[in-house]
Amino acid sequence: MADSVPVRCPTCRRENAFTPPTFPCACGAPLTLPVLRGGVPVEIHHRTWQASWVEVRCDVCGRQDEWPAPESGCACGTVVRVPVAPAPTQPPPNFPSFGPAAPKPAPAPAAETPRAVLRPAFRPVTIRTARDCVTAAEQYLKWLGYADVARTQERTASGVDLRGTGVVAQVDPTTRATPLREIECVWLNGLNDSAIAVFFSLAGYARDARSRADELHLPLFVMDLTGTPQPVNDPADELIKYGAAGR
């Protein structure tokens, strides 16, 4: 667990202990947000999607991604955004170095490549209603190997329609392209559950939503009225190839 840091409330001046959150990087290493010690917290009066994300570089693989900005609540009711140390800039590939060269690290052991899964042909569910869309997505996830996936009792504010061991999914049965916000919402739900997040859409995806899903390695599927989901991006192709066992 990360060490806690003191955060002073700008309203009541009370000092609160805050533990920076830790997220799993795409490389598998735990990534703790580098809270800036001595930084000045900023009170949150209203939220925006842009301000709710910070860029942090993984110390293990060097990958730089956006993560939910850390927030801390005070007993007086004030909620502040805790500042994060900016991601260090990397020199260009041919940047000259001076002094003795650092020794090359030993190569990491190669990860075992998952095997493609052989399965019978998927039996689609004809889509006539919005409920049929969810049923088709549920049957498809079971076909991929998530045997216990089931419809949520009540659609939550975040929009999760299906949940199972190691997976959460959202289904958009509307006739408009799925927007960016819904992609990020289901990804956060997957992050909170330590599960893969999957999205199914009847009308496809907005350009920025598709781009963001690729960055987050989130599988996207589009469904036609026959009820057969089709992969939209590379993560979806990988999910079809390897199934639940390869995640």
pLDDT in tens, 125-177: 889 998 999 999 999 999 999 999 999 876 655 568 899 999 999 999 999 99
Dihedral angle at the C-alpha atoms of 114, 209, 50, 26, nearest 10 degrees? Answer: 0
Q: What is the distance between the alpha carbons of residues 245 and 117, in angstroms, rounded to a whole number?
A: 8
Predicted pLDDT of residue 45: 80
Alpha helix positions (H), the chain: 130-143, 180-192, 207-216, 234-242
State how far the alpha carbon of 104 is from the alpha carbons of 27, 32, 62, 127, in Å. 20, 26, 16, 56
Output the pTM of the full model: 0.56
Predicted pLDDT of residue 20: 84
**Cβ proximity of 39 and 18 under 8 Å:** no
Max alpha carbon distance in the chain (Å)? 69
Choice among 11-20, 58-67, 87-96 with the minimum mean pLDDT:
87-96
| pLDDT tens digits along 57-88 | 888 888 888 888 888 888 888 888 888 887 66
Count helices and strands in the chain by DSSP H and E runs: 4, 15
Mean pLDDT on 120-126: 86
Q: What is the distance between the alpha carbons of residues 227 and 126, in angstroms, rounded to a whole number?
A: 5
Residue 144 structure tokens: 């991929």
Choice among 49-58, 171-180, 196-205 with the minimum mean pLDDT:
49-58
**Cβ proximity of 167 and 195 under 8 Å:** yes
Choice among 106-115, 154-163, 234-243 with the minimum mean pLDDT:
106-115
Single out the residue of 59, 65, 64 nearest to residue 105, CA to CA: 59
How many other C-beta atoms can be found within 10 angstroms of the C-beta atom of residue 138? 21
**Cβ proximity of 104 and 65 under 8 Å:** no
Q: What is the distance between the alpha carbons of residues 139 and 150, in angstroms, rounded to a whole number?
A: 9
pLDDT beyond 60 at 96: no
Predicted pLDDT of residue 83: 87
